[in-house]
Structure 1
């Protein structure tokens, strides 16, 4: 049975976190106050599934490329 490498665990965990974070939408709300530091407040909006799906495809391609080169890349079979 093949063991899990730390590369696979860390890369898959990182890609899952990136996928989740890419879908979160942060919206700025502008408030009219006398204090300039309080004029903009950032509020979490909805979850954007399209951005998350695009990140899944990008991370999958990067993971497959990294996995390919970790295993030695192209090998001449004679």
Structure 2
């Protein structure tokens, strides 16, 4: 059995910010979402498929007042 996050099996999580992109752990993602919740940031989720038909998800956070994008998280299938 494989772990699935947002419908993506064995997801690799890439965090994209103004500083660039990096792979993050599930724990780091969860901590970031907790901070976003506490600060009342806007969090949006998109799920679908990439151009090759593989499942993927995008989660992005924006500041409550400014609406400025703070981070986007890309979930893509792992093990490929």
- TM-score w.r.t. the length of structure 2 is 0.29
- TM-score w.r.t. the length of structure 1 is 0.30
Larger Rg: 1
